[in-house]
Structure 1
């Protein structure tokens, strides 16, 4: 059996179980159908299937377990379900690009510059092993890169870009660094400790984007009214994990969030234009009114 067939089989098993839990008989039927479609022999024995499950976990960290009560196999979703979903998405993309032949003319990738992922592996190593990380950083406010000495805590994605969340050792502040502006990373041998009660992910729990909060502020209830045609997008891709639907009818989608009101959120809401109206709080209403007014004045000649 070729490596291509093995990888295709892994991909087919995962696709089958992403749709729903399935018995071994159902998985074999799915693989037989995929064999006919793709022109490869993806059929397996029960013994090979068990080996495949071990290989899938070893290679992709996708855990498939057997539910004895239902007598079916399923993909185990960890507490951090978002991580599982992104892993599965990445696997599907990689499988399609590397296993299928001559797909470049059928896929149009977004044209963009490097987002700093060449340093991703090293940064992740420093975070996992709690090693002090030094690097040069070019902020938009400075003319040239400056050395940063940090304790790295977390890698965070927002809007297709990646950021390092780390404690700046010069002032003790937790700061956000864009990976595409970070260079010459040095992973030192200096270990650091994280307080037992501190969870870096909690920094952004009530935030939209990469701005964790404004000093002295607290998360606020935000109520938004969205035009129904735009509301469809927000029901499939919520603005924030706290999003709750209050009204959903033919005239509006009204949602409620609990977030810090900061730059990233304001810019996102302004992008909706006349398709969205802030119901509360009043401070956010005034901020958006001012933002729309300034935009309008750009065209007042």
Structure 2
């Protein structure tokens, strides 16, 4: 049984090879594929022995692994390997003991960092990981986190993360919802951001000259790595970029403004305990009127947020933002009056 840190990576590579009907993978080919992937992750990684691959195969076939049904086909004196059922994949199997043990070890390590500066995210991540183990052990779901399993483009996240990590320029086929046809653009990826159940990719787009070009992941159709020099980010600190706004859209030329809102009744009590933004300052004007001040850049996401409270909120200032919300409400009323 393989226990080194790269074992799961090799299993995933072998799994892809075994389910590929278009190529014959002999032992030397399997070694080559594993070494190629490991070299991308760690350029200083050493080669893999034949014995290691044989041990990996043995483990994958065992009950401790995934009990894979692997066929050995002779070609002269050589043997190539292929799943009996090409639709099979270890990715579709329940967690095995190795994966469970590694998750438990990861949880134990992460828990040690809880409460430390820069590791606030662990308080949310650890319960998610623990929930996965609970499901495997008992089948009883104890918690549920907000996610959209039907969101398009989620399969791009792994590719995009690697492009960010290894600084790979990308050719992206992108189809904005307002355009009839998709178009192709070049992007040097810098940052991934999740907001309201969707993922967004930020980076430098040579065509626009902007370093905060924003693409919604669910509108990406195709991604291809480009063999050109990567343009480094020297302009934006992403931990500060989103501080002055709600969401992910930063309109060009807009400055931070003080947005004054009045919330009424129970909604006011809700907003008082659940601030809309880190800059929020709130005070009760009357028993049922909460005044909220936000120092943010007005954008589309802020408009959507305010409109979501419908009759429970009124925009007081600034005038331009107040008029924009009023205009949208008037258009909504026209729809109902038709």
Which residue does the alignment assign to 2:246? Answer: 208
For structure 2, the residue ranges without an aligned partner over 5 or more in a row are 1-101
Which residue does the alignment assign to 2:336? Answer: 299
Which residue does the alignment assign to 2:203? Answer: 166
For structure 1, the residue ranges without an aligned partner over 5 or more in a row are 1-53, 66-74
Say which of 284, 293, 311 aligns to 1:247: 284
Distance 1:111 1:150 in 2: 26
Count of matched residue positions in the alignment of Structure 1 and Structure 2? 238
| Deviation, structure 1 residue 121 | 1.7
Distance 1:86 1:287 in 2: 36
Structure 1 length-normalised TM: 0.67
Distance 1:126 1:134 in 2: 11
Distance 1:110 1:55 in 2: 21
Say which of 67, 71, 78 aligns to 2:117: 78
- The answer to whether 1:227 aligns with 2:275 is no
Question: 239-248 or 150-159: which moved more?
Answer: 239-248
RMSD across aligned C-alpha pairs, in angstroms? 3.3
| Deviation, structure 1 residue 203 | 2.9
Distance 1:232 1:248 in 2: 12
Distance 1:56 1:178 in 2: 33
- The answer to whether 1:186 aligns with 2:224 is yes
User: Are the structure 2 counterparts of residues 86 and 115 from structure 1 closer, same or farther at C-alpha, using a change threshold of 3 Å?
Assistant: farther
Q: Summarize deviations over 1:29-57 as a string: whole Å, max 9, x none.
A: xxxxxxxxxxxxxxxxxxxxxxxxx9756
Map of 1:241-280 to 2, 5 A cutoff?
241-247=278-284, 250-280=287-317
Question: 177-186 or 235-244: which moved more?
Answer: 235-244
| Deviation, structure 1 residue 184 | 2.6
- The answer to whether 1:88 aligns with 2:126 is yes
Say which of 163, 169, 173 aligns to 1:126: 163
Distance 1:198 1:101 in 2: 45
Contact 1:134–1:188 at 8 Å: present in 2 too? yes
User: Are the structure 2 counterparts of residues 55 and 76 from structure 1 closer, same or farther at C-alpha, using a change threshold of 3 Å?
Assistant: farther
Structure 2 length-normalised TM: 0.61
Distance 1:286 1:79 in 2: 40
| Deviation, structure 1 residue 132 | 0.9
Distance 2:144 2:193 in 1: 27
Contact 1:56–1:63 at 8 Å: present in 2 too? no
| Deviation, structure 1 residue 190 | 4.1
| Deviation, structure 1 residue 259 | 0.9
Which residue does the alignment assign to 1:151? Answer: 188
| Deviation, structure 1 residue 273 | 1.1
Say which of 99, 117, 135 aligns to 2:137: 99
Contact 2:188–2:204 at 8 Å: present in 1 too? yes
By relative contact order (CA 8 Å, sep 6+), the higher-ranking structure is 1
Q: Which is higher, the Rg of structure 1 or of structure 2?
A: 2
Contact 2:111–2:126 at 8 Å: present in 1 too? no
